[in-house]
Amino acid sequence: MGPTRHRRPARALTKGGYTVQSGRMRTTFEDVVKWAAAALVGAFLAVGGVYYSRGGQIASNKTVIRVWDWWSPAGYKEIGTYFNTIEHDFEERHPDIDIRYQFIPFGTQYTQKLMSAFAAGDPPDAFQCSVSWARDLYDRGIIADLNDFVATSPDVAMDQYFPITREYLAKDGRIFGVPTSMDSNCLILNAGLCRKAGLDPSPHAIDSWETFVAYAEKLTVRDEGGRILQAGFPVTAIAERSSEIWPWLASEGLSFYTDDMMSTNAATPQGIRAMQLLYDLLNVYKVSFPPGTEIQADNLFIEGKVGMLRGGTWMGYEIFQTAPDLDFVMTTFPPGPGSTERGAITWVNMMMMPKNCRHPKETWEYLRFYGGLENALNMLVILNRNSARLDFYDTPEWRAKVAEHPYLAMLPEISAAGRVAPYKRQQEMDEAFVPFYQRAVLGTMPIEEAMKEANARVEKVLEGSWADQLLREMDKRAEAGQ
Amino acid sequence: MTKEPLKRAAGATAVMLALLAVTFVMVMPYLWMAVSAFKTNTYFYSHPTTLLFWADKDSQGAASPAALRNVTLINFAEALDPRTGRMGRYLFNSLFYATIVTIFQLFFNSLAAFAFARLKFKGRDAVFTLFLATMMLPGAVRLVPEYLVAVKLGLADSLPGVVLPNLAGVFGIFLLRQFFLNIPRDLEDAAAIDGAGVLGIYWRIILPLAKPALITLGIFVFMAEWNNFVWPLVILSDWDKYPVTVGISLFRDEGNIFWPKIFAASVMGSAPLIALFLVAQKYIIGGIALSGMKAQ
Amino acid sequence: MSARGLRTNLTGGAFVMPAASIIVVFSFVSMAVSLYVSFHNWDILIPVHPYVGLGNFREVLFGKDTVFWIALRNTVEYVAMLVPAVLVTSFILALAARRAPFGQAFFKTAFFLPSITPVVVVSLIWMWLYSYNGPINAGLAAMLWPVNAFTGIFGAAPIRPPNWLADPSTAMSAIVLMSAWQASGYYSVIFLAGLSDIPREFYEAAEVDGAGRLRCLWHITIPLLRNTFVFVSVMLIIGGFQVFTQVYIITRGGPAQATEVLTSVIFKRAFQSYGGLGASCAMAWLLFAAVFVFVLIYMRLVRSRQIYD
């Protein structure tokens, strides 16, 4: 294994069989392996580069509309079918437009990416937006007003939809969104468990908070040690959001925010009663699983361990997928002591267009198609989602679905009874409110005090920062300038 | 004298037992994830923590081999389906990005580390400190400016956009510098006497001797790029270009997260890393025998 | 300067140039921008950015409802607990892995697995482990049972295992344990590489001199691994100050802000509030200053040296 001699004698310095020297050395087996590996990697990069550039969306000479959405085919297969269907239908009717869907994961990732794109001046042409962010984005003046477009397309005018749509999609008469589907918080009953406990699972059977508590107690099953095996109504104590209290305020006839969106109704007598109910359910009647970060009420309901759930009207589809034998009923929350009407929370997510959209006319064509009845029926048939459109509920397709799944019959009523979800500054509000909600429901702070403190904090959030002041000034100047 | 082998055997057994215990603790979450990837959605929600399917009891309370009915490959099938999970494409993308980044980082970082460890030039320590400082500012505030830079350079939604910011890394420079400092100068002096230039010393002496460090760094860089999530998320919009990390995060909608599918995709997404590590970790063990030096 | 001096500088510069260009364009520029932003009121979505000088810094440091000091305290607590723990365990793991008579590859891969396991999975598992009725508490309860039985005779109330993640006093320790679990394997690989670099001759010579295992460890291994220790500890410190994902996923900073770390506050201010980017950058630079000074002092004290001179 000696070194070959060349121009000058080389010193051999050995390390574990590997020879290092400053002259030329004979090729060893290791060298062959090295060169083969390097060649392999090089080949991979070369071939891979070609394959990589082949994928991706090919340039097209049509007008390309980029649409962002978090509904991704990876979640539900049917979503792939849905997008393919509407892309095909739309592009057939508009041969000069090419729709490109881009899927972004929901949540912080979606907002992060959206904000970065706006900051860089590179937003998509259309994107789906949750009510949690929509108004704040619009307030910042980066979202297009759709009034002129809507004027030319009466089939997507605001009067075509449930009245509550106006609350979320318009501000002072300026429309900035096209509705996607309508979702509501509702009370879901496990009908099988109800019948087993001798209770009537029909939608209007629970007519007051007292009846509700009675149901919850009867639906709670404990073992000999007192551990809860089946919860009558799970109360999420360690929560990330304030949504636990919204329906109970609704059953008292109030939305979470006051009408001017500058304060909450949590510290009102109704709010305090609602919190008291939650506290009692958790600590006095003990119809809920004990507080813990791992409790996920939705999953437990699907597992069949929960009698009544604060759920959503969109959950039907998931229940069919995961627990097809679960017999459930969706209904509104019973009226509270201060009200005679049943309550729920309803909101409408939407598609939006940025203000500096590169192809506003073409994008509007897509949005108009998206908000129309045909697309609503596509969403129903393929995705089991219900629309905010009023005419939707008169169609044969809807009636067929209701015949197939009777729980759907309650959806229009639930949506109509819906109060407004707090859509302004939702994340910051939750951060301010939730610690006090937790203290109140766990009993470490008196309810009234906690709610007053929480309300004060939320008021500060809703007042806004320097940015909101600036926006108000800019608005005033714009108005004055006109 | 006869006690010796016994003592050694006892010592070795103790070490093995301890190692096995630690291994179990380290491996358990991954194991759980891998097992759960084979569960149907329904079964996962009703039995999230079951590791052994057949140890589970059915609704009658009897141990049931029919529980094996719940073993399914559907999550893997859906994850690989090019219309939904698309893991095949994402795996390729991740492999592509990670390979490019690793090669460049090994090269660029070792050049810089060599300079910091061996070459004397003005401001060397100051520049090194500045490099180190770039690691100390949280990524959250750097994200938007970096994205703006990338967009202004025309790199949005492109391969260079994903890869360019990571072609060099201070972690790597730092690591290699520490290793280079460990290499005895005598070898270089010998080579210098033989007439090797700076580049020659770098290429012929330092790099070969730092093989364990280079391989280690290669593993780390590959892994870091493979696990990179926020940057590809922000710079890319075309899902044909998504790496595994972003692709996996699509297995959800607003309310639900589809755990078994995510697990199946994660198992597939991490398998290459494990394979890489298994192959490469052998090379991290070397052993320096400087017997050649004594002959001087 | 002499021609030779110039050439040395140019050579050095040339070697550093490729890495430097990437780092300058993508790191320095973004850092400079964020510093600029910290002196303004800045909303990502509004084009107007009023200059406020040190206003953000003042608000963050001395403001009425500022969460900065709580977050700083939590972060320092986290680093102080994590760094020694990981240094020790990863070093021991590396040593132990080398001493295994067989299956070294298997063990090393096993140690590495936690850092490959996706963060969400790790968080899920640990949330379950730490749950009040979960396995950790079950084990603790079993261990405490005899103790409680004994003290129960005297009428003392039974000691119960804590609700790890819901109790402000234990939440941070719980997260540190989880992070240590993940990081030990990762850094043990670096120690393994360092250990393999130590010439066998040293040990052979020590054996001839009659030195036992522990003395070998203390007088040979640890000193020769000095540079590796420096690297690992600096990386742990810098990384520890920037811990984010695990905390965000598991506790979101709760309960009662017990696990609210600086990076999580910075992130929330930047992306989950409107108009907070300036304050967020101010906090980021304060964090930077703290880490920078700390690391500078640390590296002065533990000067990396040429080992074999």
End-to-end Cα spacing for chain C: 29
- Binary contact (C235, B148; C-beta < 8 A): no
pLDDT tens across B98-129, in order? 999 999 999 999 999 999 988 888 888 889 98
Collapsing DSSP states into helix, strand and coil, what is residue C272? coil
> Based on the domain organization, do A196 and A331 belong to the same domain?
yes
Is A23 domain-assigned?
no
pLDDT tens across A218-262, in order? 999 998 877 888 999 999 887 888 999 999 999 999 999 999 999
Which amino acid appears at position A81 of this protein? T
> Among the ranges B18-22, B51-55, C303-307, which has the highest mean pLDDT value?
B18-22
Q: How far is C147 from chain B (nearest CA, A)?
A: 26
Contacting residues of A for B241, CB less than 8 Å apart: 52, 55-56
Residue B43 confidence (pLDDT) above 80? no
Taking the CA of residue A9 as centre, how many other CA atoms within 13 Å lie in the half-sphere pointing to its CB?
2
Of B265, B138, B34, whose CA–CA distance to C247 is shortest? Answer: B138
Of A419, A375, A341, whose CA–CA distance to A160 is shortest? Answer: A375
> Based on the domain organization, do A309 and A434 belong to the same domain?
yes
Residue A373 contacts residue A395 (beta carbons within 8 Å): yes
Is A389 domain-assigned?
yes
Is A5 domain-assigned?
no
Residue B6 confidence (pLDDT) above 70? yes
Beta bridge partners of A115: none
Contacting residues of B for A321, CB less than 8 Å apart: 41
What is the distance between the alpha carbons of residues C235 and C237, in angstroms, rounded to a whole number?
5
pTM: 0.86
Among the partner-chain residues C128, C268, C272, the one whose CB lies closest to the CB of A294 is C128
- Binary contact (B256, A75; C-beta < 8 A): yes
Residue B258 confidence (pLDDT) above 50? yes
pLDDT of amino acid B283: 63
Of A281, A273, A311, whose CA–CA distance to A213 is shortest? Answer: A281
> Based on the domain organization, do A120 and A237 belong to the same domain?
no
Residue A20 contacts residue B205 (beta carbons within 8 Å): yes
User: Any residues with CB less than 8 A from the CB of C276 and at least 6 apart, and which?
Assistant: A465, C43, C269, C270
Residue A69 confidence (pLDDT) above 80? yes
Other CB atoms within 10 A of residue A14 CB: 16
Other CB atoms within 10 A of residue A318 CB: 21
Regions in chain C scoring below 50 on pLDDT: 309
Distances (CA, A) of A227 to A230, C133, C159: 9, 11, 19
pLDDT of amino acid A17: 37
Question: What integer is the mean pLDDT of A299-306?
Answer: 86
- Binary contact (C272, A293; C-beta < 8 A): no
Of A19, A102, A21, whose CA–CA distance to A67 is shortest? Answer: A102
Is A251 domain-assigned?
yes
pLDDT of amino acid A165: 93
Which amino acid appears at position A197 of this protein? A
> Based on the domain organization, do A326 and A463 belong to the same domain?
yes
Residue B50 confidence (pLDDT) above 80? no
Helix axes B211-226, B170-181, angle to 10 degrees: 170
A435 touches chain C (CB under 8 A): yes
A221-228 contacts: CB < 8 A, separation 24 or more? A228/A286, A228/A288, A228/A289, A228/A290
Question: Which secondary-structure segment (H or E) carries A345?
Answer: strand A344-352
Beta strand pairing status for A174-175 and A178-190? unpaired
Token couple for B108: 């660029």
For residues C185 and A419, the model is more confident at A419
Of A105, C189, A430, A49, whose CA–CA distance to B220 is shortest? Answer: C189
User: Any residues with CB less than 8 A from the CB of A377 and at least 6 apart, and which?
Assistant: A392, A395, A397
For the residues of C29-78, what is the DSSP string, one character each? HHHHHHHHHHTB---TT-S---B-TTHHHHHHHH-TT--HHHHHHHHHHH
End-of-domain residue from the set A411, A435, A451: A411
Question: What integer is the mean pLDDT of A79-108?
Answer: 92
What is the distance between the alpha carbons of residues B132 and A304, in angstroms, rounded to a whole number?
54
Architecture of domain B85-294: Orthogonal Bundle (1.10)
User: Any residues with CB less than 8 A from the CB of A214 and at least 6 apart, and which?
Assistant: none
Helix axes A360-370, A373-383, angle to 10 degrees: 60
Is A10 domain-assigned?
no
Beta bridge partners of A312: A185
pLDDT band per the 50, 70, 90 thresholds, residue A5:
very low
Distances (CA, A) of A463 to A428, C12, C295: 12, 56, 41
Taking the CA of residue B114 as centre, how many other CA atoms within 13 Å lie in the half-sphere pointing to its CB?
29
Contacting residues of B for C237, CB less than 8 Å apart: none
Q: Where are the domains of chain B?
A: 3-50+66-76, 85-294
Residues A424, A425, A430, A433, CA torsion sign: negative
Exposed/middle/buried for residue A7 (C-beta within 10 Å: 0-12, 13-18, 19+): exposed
pLDDT of amino acid A344: 95
User: Any residues with CB less than 8 A from the CB of A205 and at least 6 apart, and which?
Assistant: A199, A211
The parent domain of residue A141 ranges over 63-183+347-411
What is the distance between the alpha carbons of residues A180 and A349, in angstroms, rounded to a whole number?
5
Helix axes A131-139, A426-442, angle to 10 degrees: 130
Collapsing DSSP states into helix, strand and coil, what is residue A328? strand
> Based on the domain organization, do A150 and A79 belong to the same domain?
yes
What is the distance between the alpha carbons of residues C34 and C42, in angstroms, rounded to a whole number?
10
Of A450, A465, A467, whose CA–CA distance to A264 is shortest? Answer: A450
Domains of chain C and CATH, by start = 64-301 (1.10.3720.10)
Interface contacts (B, C; CB < 8 Å): 266
User: Any residues with CB less than 8 A from the CB of A267 and at least 6 apart, and which?
Assistant: A448, A451, A452, A454, A455
C144 touches chain A (CB under 8 A): no
Is A407 domain-assigned?
yes
What is the distance between the alpha carbons of residues B145 and B142, in angstroms, rounded to a whole number?
6
> Based on the domain organization, do A221 and A329 belong to the same domain?
yes
Categorise residue A198: left if φ over 0, alpha if ψ from -120 to 50, beta otherwise: left
pLDDT of amino acid B286: 41
Exposed/middle/buried for residue C165 (C-beta within 10 Å: 0-12, 13-18, 19+): buried
pLDDT tens across A151-200, in order? 999 999 999 999 999 999 999 899 999 999 899 999 999 999 999 999 99
Question: What integer is the mean pLDDT of A92-120?
Answer: 91
What is the distance between the alpha carbons of residues B187 and A11, in angstroms, rounded to a whole number?
10
What is the distance between the alpha carbons of residues C271 and A119, in angstroms, rounded to a whole number?
12
CATH, residue A315: 3.40.190.10
Which among C7, C31, C75, C189 is the top mutation candidate for probing chain B, defined by the most B β-carbons within 10 Å of its own β-carbon? C31
Other CB atoms within 10 A of residue C293 CB: 10
Residue A1 confidence (pLDDT) above 80? no
For the residues of chain B, what is the DSSP string, one character each? -THHHHHHHHHHHHHHHHHHHHHHHHHHHHHHHHHHTTB-HHHHHH-TT---GGG-B-TTSSB-GGGGGGB-SHHHHHHH-TTTT-HHHHHHHHHHHHHHHHHHHHHHHHHHHHHHHT---TTHHHHHHHHHHGGGS-HHHHHHHHHHHHHHTT-TTSHHHHHGGGSS-HHHHHHHHHHHHTS-HHHHHHHHHTT--HHHIIIIIIHHHTHHHHHHHHHHHHHHHHT--HHHHHH---TTS--HHHHHTTSB-SS-B-HHHHHHHHHHHHHHHHHHHHHHHHHH-----THHHHT-
pLDDT tens across A346-361, in order? 999 999 999 989 999 9
End-to-end Cα spacing for chain A: 90
Share of chain A above pLDDT 70, in %: 92
Contacting residues of A for B196, CB less than 8 Å apart: 22
- Binary contact (A119, C45; C-beta < 8 A): yes
For the residues of A54-104, what is the DSSP string, one character each? HSSPPP-SSEEEEEEES--TTT-HHHHHHHHHHHHHHHHH-TTEEEEEEE-
Which amino acid appears at position A392 of this protein? F
C196 touches chain A (CB under 8 A): no
All partners of chain B with 3 or more CB pairs under 8 angstroms: A, C
**Smallest CA–CA distance from B210 into chain A, residue:** A15
Query: What is the count of structural domains for chain A?
Result: 2
- Report the greatest alpha carbon distance in chain B: 83
pLDDT of amino acid B225: 93
Residue A180 contacts residue A351 (beta carbons within 8 Å): yes
What is the distance between the alpha carbons of residues A383 and A314, in angstroms, rounded to a whole number?
10
What is the distance between the alpha carbons of residues A275 and A281, in angstroms, rounded to a whole number?
10
Of B32, B12, B23, B21, whose CA–CA distance to B260 is shortest? Answer: B32
pLDDT tens across B146-183, in order? 999 999 998 988 899 999 999 999 999 988 888 888 77
Residues B155, B156, B157, B163, CA torsion sign: positive
Beta bridge partners of A187: A310, A331
Distance of CA A230 to the CA centre of its chain: 28
Helix, strand, coil shares, percent, chain C, to 5: 75, 0, 25
All partners of chain A with 3 or more CB pairs under 8 angstroms: B, C
Of A90, A482, A435, whose CA–CA distance to A241 is shortest? Answer: A435
Which among C46, C113, C241 is the top mutation candidate for probing chain B, defined by the most B β-carbons within 10 Å of its own β-carbon? C113
- Binary contact (A428, C272; C-beta < 8 A): yes
Return the residue matching tokens 């941070």: C172
